[in-house]
Structure 1
Amino acid sequence: MTVALRDGRRSVTSWCRRHTIGGDGAVAAVRRGQRSGDAGTLSRDQELELIETLRGSYPDQFGLDDELWTRQSVASLVHHRYGLPVESTEVGGYLRAWGLGPRQPTDRACGLCVDAVALWVEREYPAIVRSAEQHRAELVWIGRTRLHGVVPAADVLSAVSVRGRVRFVIATPNVDPALPRDFLLRLSGPEGNAVHVVVDGSWTRAEWPRRLPPRIVPHPLPSCGR
């Protein structure tokens, strides 16, 4: 059994070299190498104002095409509100500072579940990948984390595809902790695309929406809370 677990951990490491599994999250002190006031750089006050604007909102409320916030839609909002020509790659630096950096599967597990997650990635996850491919569905990992360094505190829900695309929403403070049905529906987009969703331990099964359309297929990551 020890050998199997060790091999499972190696499998996770190898798998993560091929796929980006994202996390979720906000601070954002200016990225290293930049100074507040540089061209294309938000001041701290502008950054905090941006975070407040994003709380509880969706891009379509600002006339943008994305269903959930992305690097591109945040860059468009920054350009519109502040006249700053921020590139989507620069927005990625802010998102990482906010807590939306990449995470390995085992980083999504508590200490008691790390080995179970490693085995799951080795034994169960390949079948999920094949199923998503067969159904021509997008495959994403979703989770929840606390917004970094701001008051009032709030959760950030994010979805990261295996291709590295990050989509997120910042919840308003004191919202229902259950997994929002609207968040999952927006992953599917207005065209109703098929999507397979790996749900980490941020939510128990009891906190999942009771009814989801067949095009949205959730897969639980092993967790003590389930």
Structure 2
Amino acid sequence: MGVLLARDSRGSAASWCRRHTLGGDGAVAAVRRARQPGERAALRRDQELELVDLLRGRYPEQLGLSDGLWHRQNLTVLIQRRFDLPLDATDVGEYLRAWGLGPREPTDRACGLCVEAVGRWLREDFPAIDRSARDHHAEVHWVGRTRLYGAAPSADVLSATSDRGRTQFLITSPTVDTPPTRDFLLRLSGPDGRAVHVVVDGSWSRTDWPRRLPAHITLYALPSCGRGA
């Protein structure tokens, strides 16, 4: 794709790219088909909204659960305790996908202006990152932000999906202007300081990138015309 941007249009193109990669497909309390007799229980709309509000700005340990970030297993336990619903982790994974937190292909993390650049990066640059991760016994995580619509106010979410398909996330507090990206990455690495290679999509601008990270956390930028300098 040959796209020529005039100098005064770069700002608007970057803004459009950022909105695309921010993941506008996430929908809280999305319309779901009626459950048939004998099917598993599901969260009601008001319960789903209550769950989102409960998670805003809170880490699992603040609600008596393990692990540094939210994932479908500890969220399953929270739903059981809070709503007495016998959901399993597969059921909860469906909610996460509806929220836009399921695994995505790298090219799905790019706007139409960046798809070719991302494809080229995957062919030319990512193999070296993958080799480095194996050499350092590090897990690769694909990181970005998404926005959940349907709650009031809408919720911003930091999420990371590993190369094994596991998604971890944090719903940020609406009273905090700056996303807690440094704390998120430290928790992604775990209390034992596991080595992680993190590929950051265009929904995290350069101003969101934390400084002075430990050496075992390595960041890489997925090509994006929406990324700040």
- Scaled by the length of structure 1, the TM-score of the pair is 0.83
AA partner of residue 176 (structure 1): D
8 Å contact kept, 2:141–2:160: yes
CA RMSD of aligned residues (A): 2.5
Q: How does 1:1-226 map to 2 (within 5 A)?
A: 25-29=26-30, 31-32=32-33, 34=35, 39-173=40-174, 175-178=176-179, 180-226=181-227
Which 5+ residue runs of structure 1 have no aligned equivalent?
Answer: 3-21
Shift of 1:165: 0.2
Aligned length: 207
Q: How far does residue 93 in structure 1 lie from its aligned partner after superposition?
A: 0.8
**1:179 offset after TM fit, Å?**
5.9
- The 1-side partners of 2:176 and 2:88 are apart by 31
Give the deviation of 1:81 after TM superposition. Answer: 1.0
1:118–1:163 CA distance, 2 compared to 1 (3 A): same
Instruction: Flag the 1:215–1:172 CA change in 2: closer, same or farther, 3 A.
Output: same
Q: For the residues of structure 1 that align with 2:58 and 2:78, how far apart are their CA atoms?
A: 12
In the superposition, relative to structure 1, how do residues 23 and 199 fare at CA in structure 2: closer, same or farther (>3 Å)? farther
C-alpha distance in 2 between matches for 1:37 and 1:176:
45
Alpha-carbon distance change, 161 to 106 in structure 1, aligned in 2, over 3 angstroms: same
Separation of aligned partners in 1, 2:106 and 2:123: 11
Out of 46-55 and 97-106, give the one that drifted further.
Answer: 97-106
Gapped regions of structure 2 (runs ≥ 5):
3-22
Q: TM-score, normalised by structure 2?
A: 0.82
Give me the whole-angstrom Cα distance separating, in 2, the residues matched to 1:163 and 1:156: 20
Cα deviation, residue 160, structure 1: 0.1
Q: Residue type of the partner of 2:74?
A: S
